[in-house]
Structure 1
């Protein structure tokens, strides 16, 4: 006898990973897929709205990552220039 875990339900789509848990590259790659799906024009209105909402959240997540990276670079530059003044 097989357990439900042994036989995944291939008919049900996988639940999307919460946007807040995605790394930059993951969010960017999914955003590209969302844009491609929207541009293809084959989705229903409801599907298009859901894709747009997901895409918007993904774009926001990418922006968060980029702003965080910029802040880290700015901090590193400030630290380096402060350390250079002492030499």
Structure 2
């Protein structure tokens, strides 16, 4: 199994994630998406939207589109429960 293209050694135990954690993480993800959309909608309707659009913002770092990286040694430091949750949240980055 690979996460972000980095092979996860077979000696690192990663259990199946429990159904309650799946529900919790899926609800959190859905709530985050709704919150972002609500924030965009409120900004678009705001009387100060034009002012905010003209404000200087921090420049995007040059490596913003760089692929995600992953440190296997940091994964070893997590509990098996936390490892399962990390892999579930990053499931789009997991390959065989």
Same fold (TM over 0.5): no
TM interval, shorter chain, is 0.3 to 0.5
Of structures 1 and 2, the one with the larger relative CO (CA 8 A, separation 6+) is 2
TM-score (norm 2): 0.31
- Greater share of residues in strand: 2
- Greater share of residues in helix: 1
Larger radius of gyration: 1
